[in-house]
């Protein structure tokens, strides 16, 4: 049951992440995602074989304490942008900022429920509601940190691209076809677990009441 809850929350979170990308691209003049129906809440249009099925499955099989993944990336046509590098940075940041916002909302709700002792102490501290809110916090923080890794096409690469010299930008762009293979390799060999064990505990203490 808890694994099902985790996978459901992961799906919700990555879909909202991608919709945020498409919406900010639309606000910057690119209608591509909207025209292709990628601003929809329907999870089917966002499923990616590697990021939505295989990588979360690897997390389950390997016993990883961290659930990571992604939805099918929304298409963005930078030809609609007047300043492609800078506007692409804002499009990229929209995803992780959405995940952080979800974690903030879940943290506030969890704090209020615990503070008000809603339902009973046993239900709040051990029931499904508690775990659902906890997973919303944890999974969205993992997604934010994961997507800010500066490996193309992850969002972190779009952010640092704005601050790199042109030659380095070109190098990053050439890496992009191999980016997901690199990320999958890092996950398989446990490198991402090491990163998360360093970065996430301070964030958990900030967002999760009583940690």
pLDDT at 39 over 90: yes
Q: Which residue has the higher pLDDT, 210 or 139?
A: 139
Q: Which residue has the higher pLDDT, 52 or 20?
A: 20
Please give the Cα distance from 22 to 74 (Å, whole number). Answer: 6
pLDDT at 24 over 80: yes
pLDDT of residue 117: 66
pLDDT of residue 5: 87
pLDDT of residue 136: 96
Q: Model pTM greater than 0.85?
A: yes
In the block, tokens 């506007």 appear at 87
**Measuring CA to CA, which residue among 80, 78, 59, 61 is closest to residue 69?**
59
Please give the Cα distance from 185 to 203 (Å, whole number). Answer: 25
Q: Which residues are marked as active site? A: 18
Confidence of residue 13 (pLDDT cuts 50, 70, 90): very high
* Other CB atoms within 10 A of residue 97 CB: 16
pLDDT at 77 over 90: yes
What is the residue-wise DSSP string for the chain?
A: -HHHHHHHHHHHHHHHHHHHHHHHHHHTT--HHHHTTTT-S-GGGG--IIIIIIHHHHHHHHT-S-----PPPPP--GGG-SSHHHHHHHHHHHHHHHHHHHHHHHHHHHHHHHHHT-S-HHHHHHSHHHHHHHHHHHHHHHHHHHHTSSSTTSHHHHHHHTTS-HHHHHHHHHHGGGHHHHHHHHHHTTHHHHHHHHHHHHHHHHHSTT-
What's the whole-number average pLDDT of the chain?
A: 88
The proportion of the chain whose per-residue pLDDT surpasses 90, expressed as a percent, equals 53
Name, in order, each residue with C-beta under 8 angstroms of 175's C-beta and a sequence gap of 6 or more. 151, 152, 157, 182
Kindly state the average pLDDT of the residues 146-175: 91
Structure tokens belonging to residue 109: 């709700």
**Measuring CA to CA, which residue among 76, 14, 19, 87 is closest to residue 48?**
14
Domain assignment of residue 26, given as a range = 2-207
* Other CB atoms within 10 A of residue 123 CB: 14
pLDDT at 118 over 60: no
CB 9 within 8 A of CB 2: no
Domain count, the chain: 1
């Amino acid at each position: 049951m808890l694994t099902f809850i985790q996978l459901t929350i992961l799906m919700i979170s990555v879909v909202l992440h991608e919709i945020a990308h498409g919406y900010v691209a639309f606000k910057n003049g690119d209608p591509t995602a909207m025209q292709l129906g990628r601003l929809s809440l329907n999870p089917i249009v966002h499923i990616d074989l590697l990021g939505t099925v295989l990588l979360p499955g690897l997390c389950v099989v390997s016993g990883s304490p961290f659930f990571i993944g992604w939805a099918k990336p929304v298409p963005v046509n930078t030809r609609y942008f007047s300043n492609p590098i800078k506007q692409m940075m804002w499009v990229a940041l929209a995803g992780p900022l959405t995940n952080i916002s979800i974690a903030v909302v879940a943290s506030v709700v969890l704090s209020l429920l615990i503070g008000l002792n809603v339902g009973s102490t046993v239900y709040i501290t051990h029931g499904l509601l508690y775990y659902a809110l906890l997973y919303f916090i944890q999974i969205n923080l993992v997604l934010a940190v994961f997507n800010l890794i500066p490996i193309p096409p992850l969002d972190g690469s779009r952010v640092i691209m704005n601050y790199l010299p042109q030659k380095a930008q070109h190098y990053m762009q050439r890496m992009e076809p191999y980016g997901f293979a690199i990320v999958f390799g890092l996950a398989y060999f446990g490198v991402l677990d090491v990163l998360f064990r360093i970065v996430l505990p301070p964030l958990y203490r900030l967002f999760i009441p009583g940690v």
